C-alpha cells in the first residue's frame, strides 16, 4: 500500500465517488477556484465543472439548507464547512431538518448528504475557529457522526458516508491533514459504527476520539517504559457507538481512560463512561477516567492554547494513576 497524506486520502475519496456516481456534488466556500481552505478539493473544479463543484457565498445556513433540499430530490451533496465552529450558523438546518426529515416523512424521503467539519485546536486560530464539537452533533438522533484518525479511514469512512442514505457529520481534525499513512490501492469502504483496536494491551484501555488516538498511541509507547501495557481504541464512529469493541476491551483490561479534545462536561467521554458503567461495571477495577480540553474558550496565545488541550503526557499521567503508579523521574 502506498503512503498518502490525510488530505490526499480525502481528495481521493471525493474524486472516486464523483466519478462513480453523477449524483454526488460538492458545495462550500472557496472549494472551487481556490481548491478549498485546506486544499482538499484542489483540482476537482477543473475535472467536474462548476455544476458539481459549487463555490457558495459566505452563508452557511443557505449552503446546508440548499444541500438538504438537493438530497431530498435524489442528489448526494458533500458540504464543506471552513471550520466546525461555522456550522453553528447552520445548526437549525442540521438539527431541525437534516436529522428529522426521514423520520417525519415516515421513511419515504431520505437525506443522503455529508457535511465535512474541520475542527480542533493547535493552530492559534482562537476561540471561534478551534473547537471540537463532536458532542453537539453526536447527541442528535437521525445523524451519523464519524471522525477518522488515519488516512486509510479518512478515505474509507468518507466513501461510506457518501453512499449512506442518512445525513453524516464528518468530523476532521485539522491537525491530521498533513499526517501520512498507508492507504489501500484497491476499492474499499470503512464501516460506520465500528471502532478499531489500534494497539493490543492488558493493563488498561485508552480510548481516543480523533487526534487523541495519535496522542494515545504515543502515550502507550511511553507507558511501556513504566511496565504498563495499554490497549488503544480508535472510536472512529461517535454515533452510533461501537459498544461491543469498547466493552470487550474493558472486560479484558478492567480499566478505561477516555480522551477527547472537546470539553469533557456532557462530552463524548461522559457518554462512554456512563455506558461502560452500565454494560461492564462488574469488570472494572477502577472508576472510568476521563481527560478533555480545558473548559474555556480556546486561547489565541500559543502556550495557553497548548495548556488547554490534552497532551500525550497528560494521558501518561492519567494512565499511571489508574494503575497506581507515578511517573518515574
Burial of 218 (0-12, 13-18, 19+ CB in 10 A): middle
Q: CB pairs under 8 A, 24+ apart, for 12-16?
A: 12/155, 12/183, 13/154, 13/155, 13/156, 13/158, 13/159, 13/162, 14/40, 14/41, 14/44, 14/78, 14/158, 15/44, 15/47, 16/159, 16/187
Could you say which of 60, 134, 260, 305 is catalytic? 60
**In the chain, alpha helices (H):** 6-20, 44-48, 60-72, 91-92, 101-104, 134-138, 151-163, 212-224, 243-253, 268-280, 302-308, 312-322
Cell triple for residue 207? 480510548
Tell me the C-alpha distance between 288 and 246, whole Å: 12
Is residue 131 annotated as part of the catalytic site, yes or no?
no
Q: Over 52-64, what HEC string results?
A: CEEECCCCHHHHH
Closest CA to 148 of 240, 234, 259, 243: 234
- How does 274-286 read in b/e, with b if 16+ C-beta sit within 10 Å? eebeeebeeebee
Q: Is 38:7 a contact under the CB 8 Å cutoff? A: yes
Tell me the C-alpha distance between 326 and 329, whole Å: 9
Q: Is 154:173 a contact under the CB 8 Å cutoff? A: no
Instruction: Specify the residue for cell string 492519567.
Output: 318
Could you say which of 17, 29, 129, 305 is catalytic? 129
Integer angstrom CA distances of residue 192 from 114, 235, 288: 13, 11, 25
How open is the CA angle 164-166-172, to the nearest 5 degrees? 80
Is residue 60 annotated as part of the catalytic site, yes or no?
yes
Residues that are catalytic: 60, 129
Amino acid at each position: 500500500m502506498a503512503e498518502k497524506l490525510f488530505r490526499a486520502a480525502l481528495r481521493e475519496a471525493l474524486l472516486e465517488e464523483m466519478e462513480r456516481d453523477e449524483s454526488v456534488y460538492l458545495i462550500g466556500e472557496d472549494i472551487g477556484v481556490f481548491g478549498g481552505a485546506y486544499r482538499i478539493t484542489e483540482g476537482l473544479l477543473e475535472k467536474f465543472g462548476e455544476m458539481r463543484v459549487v463555490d457558495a457565498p459566505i452563508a452557511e445556513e443557505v449552503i446546508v439548507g440548499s444541500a438538504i433540499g438537493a438530497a431530498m430530490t435524489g442528489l448526494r451533496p458533500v458540504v464543506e464547512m471552513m471550520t466546525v465552529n461555522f456550522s453553528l450558523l447552520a445548526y437549525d438546518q442540521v438539527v431541525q431538518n437534516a436529522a428529522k426529515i426521514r423520520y417525519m416523512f415516515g421513511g419515504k424521503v431520505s437525506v443522503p448528504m455529508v457535511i465535512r467539519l474541520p475542527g480542533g485546536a493547535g493552530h492559534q486560530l482562537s476561540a471561534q475557529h478551534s473547537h471540537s464539537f463532536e458532542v453537539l452533533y453526536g447527541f442528535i438522533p437521525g445523524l451519523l457522526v464519524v471522525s477518522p484518525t488515519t488516512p486509510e479511514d479518512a478515505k474509507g469512512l468518507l466513501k461510506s458516508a457518501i453512499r449512506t442514505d442518512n445525513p453524516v457529520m464528518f468530523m476532521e481534525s485539522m491537525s491530521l491533514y498533513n499526517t501520512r499513512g498507508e492507504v489501500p490501492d484497491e476499492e474499499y469502504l470503512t464501516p460506520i459504527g465500528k471502532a478499531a483496536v489500534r494497539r493490543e494491551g492488558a493493563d488498561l484501555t485508552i480510548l481516543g476520539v480523533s487526534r487523541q488516538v495519535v496522542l494515545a498511541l504515543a502515550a502507550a509507547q511511553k507507558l511501556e517504559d513504566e511496565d504498563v501495557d495499554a490497549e488503544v481504541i480508535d472510536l472512529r464512529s461517535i454515533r452510533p457507538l461501537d459498544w461491543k469493541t469498547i466493552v470487550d476491551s474493558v472486560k479484558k483490561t478492567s480499566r478505561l481512560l477516555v480522551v477527547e479534545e472537546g470539553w469533557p462536561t456532557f462530552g463524548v467521554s461522559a457518554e462512554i463512561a456512563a455506558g461502560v458503567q452500565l454494560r461492564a461495571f462488574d469488570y472494572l477495577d477502577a472508576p472510568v477516567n476521563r481527560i478533555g480540553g480545558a473548559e474555556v474558550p480556546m486561547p489565541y496565545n500559543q502556550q495557553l492554547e497548548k495548556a488547554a488541550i490534552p497532551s500525550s503526557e497528560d494521558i501518561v499521567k492519567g494512565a499511571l494513576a489508574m494503575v497506581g503508579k507515578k511517573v518515574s523521574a
